[in-house]
Structure 1
């Protein structure tokens, strides 16, 4: 016997435990703790493009659509309302819309939500009700005529953010700033040899600069709060490429702010920031979902002192374009990194990446030219 899933519908806001605007990283973290509800989660994405939407399919009832750039929950689709594995009860303001005993029909929607505009679907601000199955084969079949279209059975319920003009938001649009984003990273402006400036929601909040060699572990604790994880540096494979003595790294430790997609390497002697690593959270790579997407932008030199919009390259641009931006000319030799060497039996589409080193910055990129991480030092 399956236990019944009881989900409350919140038009324009969310469904059950899912809130519009929540990051992909947070939702997958929620699902890890709810495996008794969803033992299998399918992640669907375009492996060649880091900015196409991502879909989480939670069998059999839910599809969660996330935006391509900010990786935030954009649309929730509830389907197979009558599938008993597990049974689903859908409610709105404590009134049951659909259950194993209650079939949701056109007339029921109209009674609860009121009149709406003509069309095949019933559309309201933040929610719509569809009478078509989502499979291509089903949509091509001729609908069975009913003596009274008021008895049409609802096959899908779609929840999305309300737009300012009342129109349904396009699936490729980013989610507008909302309450659930408060305190989360909005963007990270990278300045080579200097550090990174962090901007947080709500928009207009005071930015937080983190400077290489100057910002301390105590500064990070005061500005960002305690990290999710702290650990001492154990992987010394890159020290062979260091020009200085290897003993300089003794006692170094990491502050891992996975909720912001950032790692800070702290000097064990001065306790100042030595390195900053920004993660892009690209699906199909070994570090996917270990870190939230950090929306970093590498800033170039302004043309003059009055230039308020200096050139920038962003996380979703191809590695060749970013390389040319950092240092025009021939790209430096790359080193190959396989993060699955220590994971027996793990096979991923992009397990091997290449490291491109420049003065003050290293780019880690996949074979499809997606930059999965940036390291400042």
Structure 2
């Protein structure tokens, strides 16, 4: 990898990727890699829908490198790689430069790419006919898209010269066609064949390029989805391995490390400022029909990479659970979750009508266990964006086909869960307290990593708890609202997207 923005060399792998950028890779993985080369990638633009960031595509543009990367919204996986300026990157295919012999004296603009002759005769060989897209305005040029398996080129073509009766090879070899203006890399046999399902088809390659070609024994299998079953149980579906079950209060740190590998970081610091909210009106406010307390959801990796965590890392071995402090968070950034390690505590109750029994009281034990799981949404525009890759989850309700998921707007989640838990609270005061949003600000203080403030209310929240902001922006403060249900704590952005789900 060179440091010049105009001479970066990138190997083309049709249907797979460009250089280290692999189709199917997570937004977290790609953005983290790109940001680690600031001289090579000096400009990074991220575009997303502020109102609907989890269902609309996310676009990562690298203007200094002529690249545009398109990710789907729900899973945040790379679906399309586009080269928009051939002068910004030195493309190589099987050790041959893509632009070699591709320019003529008449075509001087530096952004133009290879000629049709060069693509057809020297690089990729014969192809089936492509498709012609007429100009949308009064431009004299339409676009001819020439597709190969996993790769396509767009050539400007004089609209007056186009005829579906013409031989496309002769037509694109004539003076009526200009060199390619863009190139796309995708998964599929041709662009017309995959265009309609490019953001929904199952990616062939994993979210992390480190997993490509590796055996299960060398690296932990990646997580596809979490299923929150209630009663402290979560089922983890993986890319290739069998599903796993995590039981809060029983699963040990050793179990986590055996299944998911060593954590990326360990965080020990506890912030007890939330404890003031554990009592109101002289009595305890419970988050479940059984006695409990508000979980410490302001910890986890939102505070894991600065403060005293670096010093604590040297005090114990990440891969050795016996050296862990009494209470800590295991941060799995590349898996998209954190686990709170503590002494066994009663988890949340079973969902009504789920068929699961309520958890039994935990016996006193000195064995450290997982007592909370924090699933991160990696929502664009949120304060902790790109610290974790996105975790997807489902909450089954009445049957396997009826469920809430990580893309559900919180208003829908709240309505469904209120109906399920109605009548299960100790009293009406407890139910009202749970539905009143608590505002969490992660953006104030001397250090962004240590600035966790609970503001207790929000003037922009209506009496029904709906976010009133139409653009989903938080004014730079990083404010989110927190809502609790038995065993669940939702951190919600003003646009209704769930930024984080804590299961306890």
Q: Could you tell me the TM-score, scaled by structure 2's length?
A: 0.64
Residue 117 (structure 2) pairs with residue 107 (structure 1): yes
Q: Give the aligned CA root-mean-square deviation in angstroms.
A: 3.2
Deviation at 1:167, TM superposition (A): 1.4
Residue 291 (structure 2) pairs with residue 200 (structure 1): no
Distance 2:418 2:367 in 1: 31
Structure 1 contact 354–364 (Cα < 8 Å) conserved: yes
State the SS of the aligned residue for 2:98. strand
Distance 2:502 2:246 in 1: 14
Distance 2:173 2:12 in 1: 30
| Corresponding pairs, count | 356
* Structure 1, unaligned runs of 5 or more: 134-138, 303-308
Distance 2:270 2:70 in 1: 38
Bigger mean CA offset, 326-335 vs 41-50: 326-335
Compared CA separation, residues 245 and 317, structure 1 to 2 (3 A): closer
Deviation at 1:2, TM superposition (A): 5.4
Bigger mean CA offset, 280-289 vs 30-39: 30-39
Distance 1:164 1:95 in 2: 23
Residue 276 (structure 2) pairs with residue 240 (structure 1): yes
Distance 1:258 1:221 in 2: 14
Structure 1 contact 254–263 (Cα < 8 Å) conserved: yes
Larger radius of gyration: 2
Distance 2:173 2:250 in 1: 76
Distance 2:260 2:34 in 1: 26
Structure 1 contact 56–65 (Cα < 8 Å) conserved: yes
Counterpart position of 1:349: 473
Distance 1:191 1:286 in 2: 28
Counterpart position of 1:316: 407
Q: 1:107-256 maps to which residues of 2 (within 5 A)? A: 107-111=117-121, 112-113=123-124, 114-119=126-131, 120-132=144-156, 148-149=174-175, 152-163=178-189, 167-170=193-196, 173-181=199-207, 183-202=221-240, 205-242=241-278, 251-256=326-331
Deviation at 1:186, TM superposition (A): 0.8
Counterpart position of 1:8: 11
Distance 2:367 2:373 in 1: 16
Structure 2 contact 102–115 (Cα < 8 Å) conserved: no
Residue 461 (structure 2) pairs with residue 358 (structure 1): no
Structure 1 contact 107–150 (Cα < 8 Å) conserved: no
Question: Which residue of 44, 60, 63 corresponds with 1:59?
Answer: 63
Compared CA separation, residues 80 and 166, structure 1 to 2 (3 A): closer
Structure 1 contact 319–370 (Cα < 8 Å) conserved: yes
Structure 1 contact 38–58 (Cα < 8 Å) conserved: yes
Deviation at 1:190, TM superposition (A): 0.7
Deviation at 1:261, TM superposition (A): 1.2
* Structure 2, unaligned runs of 5 or more: 104-112, 132-143, 162-170, 212-220, 279-283, 285-290, 297-324, 344-365, 423-431, 452-471
Deviation at 1:126, TM superposition (A): 0.9
Q: 1:88-107 maps to which residues of 2 (within 5 A)? A: 88-98=89-99, 104-107=114-117
Counterpart position of 2:353: none
Structure 1 contact 319–369 (Cα < 8 Å) conserved: yes
State the SS of the aligned residue for 2:255. helix
Deviation at 1:27, TM superposition (A): 0.3
Q: Deviations over 1:249-299 (max 9, x none)?
A: 994110111112111111055311111111111100001111111011112
Q: 1:45-84 maps to which residues of 2 (within 5 A)? A: 45-49=48-52, 50-60=54-64, 61-82=66-87
Structure 2 contact 23–205 (Cα < 8 Å) conserved: no
Bigger mean CA offset, 61-70 vs 149-158: 149-158
Residue 381 (structure 2) pairs with residue 284 (structure 1): yes
Question: Which residue of 24, 39, 44 corresponds with 2:42?
Answer: 39
Compared CA separation, residues 76 and 359, structure 1 to 2 (3 A): same
Compared CA separation, residues 63 and 251, structure 1 to 2 (3 A): same
Q: Deviations over 1:106-154 (max 9, x none)?
A: 1111113223214311111111101259xxxxx9x999x9992476211
Question: Which residue of 331, 334, 339 corresponds with 1:264?
Answer: 339
Structure 1 contact 161–175 (Cα < 8 Å) conserved: no
Distance 1:110 1:290 in 2: 43
Deviation at 1:191, TM superposition (A): 1.9
Deviation at 1:31, TM superposition (A): 0.7
